[in-house]
Amino acid sequence: MLMTHVLDLQFGDRIVTLMAALVLVLQIAMVTQRWIVIHIRIFAAQSFFLAMIAATIAWFNHAPHLYVAAALTLVVKVVLVPILFERLVKRMEIHEEIEPIVNGPLSVVVAGGLTLVGYVVAESFYRADEPGLGHNALAVAISLFLIGFFTMINRRKALTQVLALLSLENGLFLAAISLTYGMPMIVELGIFFDVLVAAMVLGILVYRIRETFESVDVSRLRRLRG
Amino acid sequence: MLLIALLLVPVATAVASFFARRRAAMEAANLVGFVAVFLIAIVLAARVLAAGTVSLANGFFYSDALSALVVLLTASVALVCATYSVGYLRDDQQSGELGDDMSGMEQMAQLRMYYTLTPLFVFSMLFMAVANNLGVMWAAMEVTTLASIFLVTFYGKVTSLEAAWKYAIIGGVGLSMALFGTLVAYYAGRGLTGSQAISGLNWSVLAQHAAQLDKTSMRLAFVLILMGYGTKAGLAPMHTWKPDAYSEAPVPTAAILSSALLNCALYCLIRFYILTSRCLGAQYPGRLLLLFGLLSMGVSVPFVLAQKNFRRLLAYSTIDHAGIMAIALGLGSAMGSLGLMLHMLFHTIAKPLLFLCAGNVHQHFRTDLFSKIKGGVMRAMPLTGVVFLLAMLAIVGMPPFSLFQSEFLIVRAAMVGGHTLTGVLFVLFATGVFAGVLLHVGNLVLGPSGDAPVAPRRPWRDGSLLALASALVVIAFWVPAPLLELVRQAARVVSGQ
């Protein structure tokens, strides 16, 4: 009886690790992606795997409230936000990212380095006496956070920066479910509400910047100084 | 009940303004709403003074003296700014500042946005101050950003979009760090009983068991929190959004951002500081706070000295004061905490006053640049000139004004606590800011007058100016006993003594 339980957990850990790896790969794919629509879809796919990780952890750890978090991720980040942003892209008629500050191959190397940093930081949280799911997931989460941060600095289009901010938030979500099996329900709800509203607000802001500047190149926002 | 009313009134105000069809109705809704919020805040403060803490819904809402003080200050600033904005926005509408080619309908839509978002903004700040759950506190803090972004873009100019973009992105990254920190703090408390339940993130629970929190995690959590909420408070080097947002937002919004929102961000820092210092001792979080505080004070000095734009000057002064309060918190002693709470109170009176004066000057001269105004504010608008001068003397810490008392207390706490270097640098930086502000604002008000016409009377704006100015003068000599007691109790919450 006990044996099967442990096996179960190990099996769950493997699934989580596999999907966390996919999430990380998608994040690195985002770093180099230049087509904004594809960028949005990669984000949706990444969020989908995150929802699956949440559901897996909920199943193997008997944490039913994580199912709600998984469902909310599906609704908000896989469906609503991508639809919203794709519409925005259509209306603004911008499809391609201009050259990032650090070029493609080099930014992949940087992302790799940041992943390494993520593993080093996550190591300090790992305790052998506390077996559980998602040791790798935490390292991936911290890497997502750092790579998202890097992408924000590296990109110049306003919309890509927003997507980077959202993927950074994905990293936080992954950290939340792998560290503590999710936050209390009310907090999860609050966070999802905030993410949705933030995506909308930032979308409107991007649209207005586009209308005013005839461009969403944020490197042109340079009037306020000193 | 009281706490529910405190939160429901601003929401009702926002709804009423949203559906109002005439400008007068929106103005009335806002005024009535904020008067009600102010009265409720006073009652809440009285209750807290009598009972120690007020909590509701199984401790979901929780208010001790610290929250009550922040709520009271937020409500007062909101009331003064609501009064001021009546006159301010009417002037904007008449002079075509809202947009030259705008129809009446579009102008109404813009006013509606202002009068709807401002109560929501205030609501989120009040919610944050009475939320016990650290995650809910974070969510409310995020809502403050979301509610105020479109207040910053109010004028729809190129520069205001730029300011709003910086505000949104820098604030967004900062708050995601704060969320990470909150998460790690939750993880640090996983050993406590019932941490899977909602109470695991309740501050009052965590504070009771702070000694049992996981030390490594708390170390990381505090750094993330300091970076995160420090961004909202505008501590250097995360301060860059501040001058832009303050100089582009409508003046009443800027006044709220620079005082009430700053208090709220500091409030979040204080809550985590209490947890961390009880878990790890006061030295670790204290050193970090002193570092960021001194950096903020230091960074603001050259920008104040070389400033060309008076609203940006006020923003750098706010960064300076955020630094002062971070230092006071970092000292960790009972005297430092008392200095912190007094400074928060005094700053919340003086800073909005400066912004309101700056708003009057801006609307009269139609510019923010010292070089274009040259001087003569005193002749063109005597009342604004006098009040501007008084508030400026107060903000740089001239005796007899009250900020001198709190800053003196903080320096003394630094010296007594053995932080001699901090004390010396504090005085040095404060002197730099003193010189800069005195030079610029002194010239602006007293300098040779140009040919600007004398301003007409402005009942709404001058009324709120006078009310706040008399508060500033009165509090320099006499702090009402209940208010002082509230400040003392809040300081006791911070220092734990």
Choice between B455 and B406, residue whose per-residue pLDDT is larger:
B406
Q: What is the pLDDT of residues A204-226, one digit of tens each?
A: 888 888 877 776 677 677 777 76
ipTM above 0.90, yes or no: no
Residue A222 in domain = no
Count how many residues are written for chain B: 497
Collapse the DSSP code of A182 into the 3-class scheme (helix H, G, I; strand E, B; otherwise coil) and give the result: coil
Kindly report the number of other CB atoms within 10 A of residue B307's CB atom: 24
Tokens 């922040």 correspond to: B70
User: pLDDT tens digit string along B287-345?
Assistant: 999 999 999 999 999 999 999 899 999 999 999 999 999 999 999 899 999 999 999 99
Cβ <8 Å between B158 and A212: yes
- Copy the structure tokens of residue A76: 């908000």
Extents of the domains making up chain B: 293-497
Nearest one of B396, B422, B391, B393 to B407, comparing CA atoms: B396
Instruction: Say yes or no: B166 contacts chain A, CB-CB below 8 A.
Output: yes
Determine the 3-state secondary structure of B186 from DSSP.
Answer: helix
What Å distances lie between residue A90 and A37, A155, A180, CA to CA?
9, 20, 39
8 Å CB contact of A165 and B172: yes
Contact B310, B384 (CB under 8 A): no
Report for A77-81, A96-100, B51-55: range of highest mean pLDDT: A77-81
What letter does residue B63 receive in the DSSP assignment?
A: E
Q: Angle at which helices A135-154 and A104-123 pack, to 10 degrees?
A: 140
Per the CB < 8 Å rule, is B198 touching A186? yes
pLDDT at B485: 94
Closest CA to B125 of B261, B9, B311, B303: B261
Q: How large a percentage of chain B has pLDDT more than 90?
A: 64
Band (pLDDT 50/70/90 cuts) for residue B377 is: confident
190-249 in B: which are within 8 Å (CB) of A?
190, 196-198, 200-201, 216-217, 220, 243-244, 247-248
| Residues A75 and A83: beta-carbon distance below 8 Å | no
Chain B contact for A213, CB < 8 A? yes
DSSP designation for A74: I
Q: Is the pLDDT of residue B198 over 70?
A: no
Please, which residues bridge with residue B309 across strands? B369
Per the rule left: phi > 0, alpha: psi between -120 and 50, beta: everything else, A182 is: left
Q: Which of A164-168, B154-158, B294-298 has the highest mean pLDDT?
A: B294-298
Give which of A143, A140, A142, A138 is closest to A127, Cα–Cα.
A138
DSSP secondary structure letter of residue B59: T
Cβ burial A70-106 (10 Å sphere, 16+ → b, else e): bebbbebbbeebbeebeebbeebebeebeebebeeee
Cis peptide before B456 (omega within 30 of 0): no
Number of structural domains found in chain A: 1
> Of A106-115, A182-191, B245-254, B436-445, which gets the smallest average pLDDT?
A182-191
Least confident range of B269-278, B308-317, B323-332, B458-467? B458-467
On whether residue A198 sits in a domain, the answer given is yes
Q: What's the rounded mean pLDDT across residues B381-391?
A: 90
What is the maximum alpha-carbon separation in chain A?
Answer: 68
Q: How confident is the model at residue A65 (pLDDT cuts 50, 70, 90)?
A: confident
Across the interface, whether the CB atoms of B135 and A208 are under 8 A apart is answered no
Using an 8 Å Cβ cutoff, are B452 and B302 in contact? no
Q: Do B243 and A176 lie within an 8 Å CB cutoff? A: no
Question: For residue A8, what are the CA distances in angstroms to A3, A127, A128, B266, B398?
Answer: 9, 20, 18, 46, 70
Average pLDDT over residues A76-87: 90
- Kindly list the distances between the CA atom of residue B233 and the CA atoms of A58, A166, B260, B261, in Å, as whole numbers in the listed order: 37, 23, 10, 8
CA distance B387 to B392: 8
The interaxial angle of helices B158-188 and B134-152, nearest 10 deg, is 180
Q: What average pLDDT does this structure show over A79-95?
A: 86
Q: How far apart are CA B78 and CA B169, in angstroms?
A: 25
Any CB–CB contact under 8 A between A130 and chain B? no
**Distance in angstroms (rounded) separating the CA atoms of residues B185 and B226:** 13
CB contact under 8 A, B146 and A201: yes
* Bridge partners, residue A96, by sequence: A35
In the numeric block, the tokens 């910086």 are attached to B166
Q: Do A184 and B133 touch (CB under 8 A)?
A: yes
* CA distance linking residue B472 with residue B345, whole number of Å: 10
Lowest mean pLDDT segment, chosen from A95-104, B18-27, B374-383, B480-489: A95-104
With an 8 Å Cβ cutoff, is A64 touching chain B?
no
- Give the DSSP letter of residue B198: G
Residues in chain A closer than 8 A to B244 (CB atoms): 224
Distance, in Å, from the CA atom of A35 to the CA atom of B145, rounded to the nearest integer, reads 30
Report A:158-187 residues touching B (Cβ under 8 A): 158, 161, 165, 168-169, 172, 175-176, 179-181, 183-187
Q: Which residues contact residue A112 at a Cβ distance below 8 angstroms, ignoring those fewer than 6 apart?
A: A28
Residue B477 predicted with pLDDT over 60: yes
Count of C-beta atoms within a 10 Å radius of residue B25: 14
pLDDT(A4) > 60: no
Name the pLDDT band for A97 (thresholds 50, 70, 90).
low
d(CA B432, CA B495): 30
The DSSP output letter for B418 is T
Tell me if A221 and B133 make a contact (CB, 8 A cut-off): no
Residues of chain A positioned with their CB less than 8 A from the CB of B248: 224
Task: Note whether A66 contacts B: Cβ–Cβ < 8 A.
Answer: no
pLDDT of B197 = 54
The answer to whether residue A43 sits within a structural domain is: yes
Closest chain B CA to residue A165: B173
Question: Is B135's pLDDT higher than 80?
Answer: yes
Q: What is the mean pLDDT of residues B49-65?
A: 87
pLDDT exceeds 90 at position A176: no
pLDDT given for residue A135 in this prediction: 66
Write out pLDDT tens, residues A177-200. 877 777 777 778 888 888 888 888
Three-state secondary structure along A191-209?
Answer: HHHHHHHHHHHHHHHHHHH
Question: B405 CB near a chain A CB, below 8 Å?
Answer: no
Nearest to B252 by CA among B476, B12, B468, B54: B468
- The C-alpha atoms of residue B467 and residue B469 are separated, in whole angstroms, by 6
A126 touches chain B (CB under 8 A): no
pLDDT at A98: 65
**Residues in CB range of A168: below 8 A, 6 or more apart:** A144, A145, A148, A149, A152, B173, B176
Q: Tell me, yes or no, if A119 comes closer than 8 A to chain B by beta carbon.
A: no
Confidence of residue B194 (pLDDT cuts 50, 70, 90): low
A214: left (phi over 0), alpha (psi -120 to 50) or beta: left
pLDDT tens readout for residues B58-95 = 788 999 999 999 999 999 999 999 999 999 999 888 88
Altogether, the residues listed in chain A come to a count of 226
Confidence of residue A1 (pLDDT cuts 50, 70, 90): very low
Tokens 């706040």 found at: B468
Q: What is the mean pLDDT of chain A?
A: 82
Domain residues for A137?
A: 2-214
Mind giving me the DSSP string for B344-361? HHHHHHHHHHHHHHHHHH
In angstroms, the separation between the Cα of residue A165 and the nearest Cα of chain B is 7
Judge contact between B369 and B308, C-beta under 8 A. Answer: yes
For chain A, say whether B155 makes contact (Cβ under 8 Å): no
Spatial contact of B353 and B475, defined as CB atoms under 8 Å apart: no
Q: Average model confidence (pLDDT) for chain B?
A: 90
Report pLDDT digits (tens) over A30-44: 888 888 889 899 999
